[in-house]
Amino acid sequence: MDLLNTLVDKGLRREPLSRAEALAVLGTSDDDLLDVVAAAGKVRRHWFGRRVKLNYLVNLKSGLCPEDCSYCSQRLGSTAGILKYTWLKPDEASKAAAAGLAGGAKRVCLVASGRGPTDRDVDRVAGTIKAIKEENEGVEVCACLGLLSDGQAERLREAGADAYNHNLNTSESTYGEITTTHTYADRVDTVQKAHAAGLSACSGLIAGMGETDEDLVDVVFSLRELDPDSVPVNFLIPFEGTPLAKEWNLTPQRCLRILAMVRFVCPDVEVRIAGGREVHLRTMQPLALHLANSIFLGDYLTSEGQAGKADLEMIADAGFEVEGADQVTLPEHRAAGGGCGSHESAGCGTHEGGGGCGSHDSGGGCGSHEGGGVCGSAAAAATSSSTATPQTGEARTDLVAVRRRGAGTDLAPNA
């Protein structure tokens, strides 16, 4: 396909895709799926080789959240039978993290439910970061605590945090249909605060909430403007007891196309397969490793994941290797602070106070929704995809299991 050759060339040169090209990836047929995976795989291997970075989640505080995010089992009004507990002590969190690190994880992600941390909460998390880093030399720590107030990102960095996660989740135009207790702009502001404080920004999306192809492209292009170092791609886990419990909109093939689109749009960024890969990719998970260079090991926040041993076997069997603690995840130009890397001639804007791709003040830059050439096949496919209804996947409630081990319990974690 001429389209795929064009996208590979752009990915290797870090040139921005147009919206029509991104839509065309989502509009490809199942007959072309392996060609799409192979093409995006060339871009993935160019920037990240055959390495797979392992990340491990520690849920510091589960449930009891005042926000009404429709996808979340911890939301206000959720009747999902999840674990509910208040803050873990630093030694408890460090013990939980140790299990994931022993399994090969390179980064620990410390997550807490809630709208955002109080200053006292930041102090708690700072103590947890210190405890983890004292026990594990070289470990990366990412915090995910909700909306940040002024100065909190700086305090987390001073405490030793390396990164901060806050996902955009869906397009700006549909965000109000998913959440009403905060805004899309609030989320963007928190990612910018983390970036400005010198933390590695981590921000991604959730697919499968009934969104259109255009919504998916919108949010990924918005992410490209924000210039995070890592983009986690979550596939909705339809928990019983949440408003989206009946949303089974994904097939393994659609998940692979979404991951390929993200890789083409963000060629040199750490693309992470996050929650829901076991539920929706199922036996096609190994193919997804040709698109993403990062996964979570073991369980998630409130749901069980694939056994850690099975994750490691899958990586080896697919011909990949676990990224070592001594290896740098990002390509040299990004690790040195070069930004998301639109090609130098592409007119990439900068964030205030540092390098990065896609100015929020200008209409241009590599994150612009406008501009960019479109080859004929891309334009045709994009036109057809704009009116297409995604194929609905079969409900697999048997694959949705509430986490009953690890943090907040007396049982050993899955790592």
User: Each residue of 302-325: pLDDT tens digit?
Assistant: 888 999 999 999 999 999 999 999
Q: Which of 125-129, 212-216, 334-338, 362-366 has the lowest mean pLDDT?
A: 362-366
* Token pair belonging to 319: 């011909």
How far apart CA 257 and CA 33 sit, in angstroms, is: 7
**What residue segments make up the domains of the chain, in order of their start?**
51-261+268-335+390-399
Residue count of the chain: 415
Question: What's the rounded Cα separation, in Å, for the pair 221 and 227?
Answer: 10
Place of tokens 């871009």: 43
pLDDT over threshold 80, residue 336? no
| Per-residue pLDDT reduced to its tens digit, 386-401 | 444 455 678 888 888 8
Q: What is the mean pLDDT of residues 135-141?
A: 93
Q: If pLDDT is split at 50, 70 and 90, which confidence band does 410 have? A: confident
Q: Which of 198, 186, 110 is nearest to 154 (CA)?
A: 198
Q: What is the pLDDT of residue 349?
A: 33
Closest by alpha carbon to 105, among 47, 58, 153, 167? 58
Residue 113 is which amino acid?
S
| Range from 154-158, 335-339, 404-408 that averages highest in pLDDT | 154-158
What's residue 413's pLDDT? 86
Q: What pLDDT shows up at residue 51?
A: 98
Element (H, E) at 92: helix 90-102
Catalytic positions: 65, 69, 72, 109, 142, 202, 272
- pLDDT above 90 covers what percent of the chain? 73
- Position 64 pLDDT exceeds 90: no
CA distances from 142 to 92, 99, 107, 164, 300 (A): 17, 16, 7, 5, 15
Interatomic CA distance for residues 128 and 177, integer angstroms: 35
Lowest mean pLDDT among 224-233, 306-315, 402-411: 402-411
User: What is the predicted pLDDT for the residue at 371?
Assistant: 33
DSSP codes of every residue in 272-303: EE-TTHHHHTGGGHHHHTTT-SEEE-S--SSB
* pLDDT beyond 60 at 245: yes
Please report the pLDDT score of residue 335 as a whole number.
84
Asked whether residue 344 carries a pLDDT value surpassing 70, the answer given is no
pLDDT bucket at 337, cuts 50 / 70 / 90: low
Helix (H, G, I), strand (E, B) or coil at 211: coil
Residue % of the chain over a pLDDT of 70: 86
Residue 348 is classified by DSSP as -
User: CATH topology for 51-261+268-335+390-399?
Assistant: TIM Barrel (3.20.20)
For residue 25, the surrounding DSSP H or E stretch is: helix 19-26
User: Which whole number is the average pLDDT over 1-7?
Assistant: 92
- What span, in angstroms and rounded, lies between the C-alpha atoms of 355 and 371? 22
CB-based contact 153:194 (threshold 8 Å) = yes
Q: Are 284 and 252 in contact (CB under 8 A)?
A: yes
Distance CA(336)–CA(339), nearest Å, equals: 9
